[in-house]
Structure 1
């Protein structure tokens, strides 16, 4: 079902994402005795954030340490996407700019929310890969 939504270019309903995420996290905790997670790209919009809260991630399952934000200019994003060796089929100027607009409209309010809570950790991703990596390592120490 998730693949069906992806093929159609639609977002998977937030309750599905939250239930899948919760089930996988519980499974990993029980079977692998791992209780630390890095979740990439979620919550991506306010609906995701509401689901994150509604499905108990903020109290029952997760003690959120911080939200990591790689702050990068549109120009640098364009340059990197267009120059990477393993380019996606949708790596072109129009789609990259559309993704950036989506970020401004959908994701930025989530980041502002976490900034107000004091949980946002911002990395200047316009720097070199090595500099960014060093800053990220410091956050995880």
Structure 2
């Protein structure tokens, strides 16, 4: 059976990069709440007795999709996956408890990165509006001068917005991290190493536990 992996970490901790590595190495599916919601926009949720009958109606109105809907969609996505790396869920303690009823996890990885490092990573990101490629002012700038000239900072990457995103993440997710620590499932990974060093630790943790 393919491994069931949960990856946790603040915005900018490197979850996307490491999830891609996990998918390639272990042949599992990358399940994110955003992708799962987009893939199931038309799912019939009328039996939940909520305001709308499909997740898409919340999304089209820019409203927050209720927990019960997210839970149902994640449950469906995990059921359909042979093995998975789950990223972006659970975001709070209620969701963590619900997840433990849905599936058994082999390993819970937490990419641990200091707040100042996260701020530096996120505020340094630059977007190429023509290609959608993401660069970084310190770690990864394009060689082409023309591309450099047109790079922009996304609105949600300004320092004020970044600090608020991290604050909200910490407030909601601290209890989740404590929950998995108490269960004895949490493996802390030093997320401030180079991406290759982080990957070495991630790969070892999965191989030893899954």
User: Which TM-score band applies after superposition, normalised by the shorter structure?
Assistant: 0.7 to 0.9
Correspondences of 1:1-141 after superposition (within 5 Å): 1-2=55-56, 4-5=58-59, 8=62, 10=64, 12-28=65-81, 34=82, 36-53=83-100, 56-57=101-102, 62-85=103-126, 86=134, 88-141=154-207
By how many angstroms is 1:71 displaced? Answer: 0.6
Give the total of aligned pairs.
Answer: 128
Counterpart CA distance in 2 for 1:6 and 1:45 is: 24
Instruction: Please identify which structure carries the higher helix content.
Output: 1
Cα deviation digits, residues 57-108 of structure 1 (max 9, x gap) = 1xxxx22112111110111101111223426430111111111211221101
Secondary structure of 1:90's match? helix
Secondary structure of 2:111's match? strand
Runs (4 or more) in structure 1 with deviation over 6 Å come to none
Instruction: Please identify which structure carries the higher strand content.
Output: 2
The unaligned stretches of length 5 or more in structure 1 are 29-33
> So what's the TM-score if we normalise by structure 1?
0.79
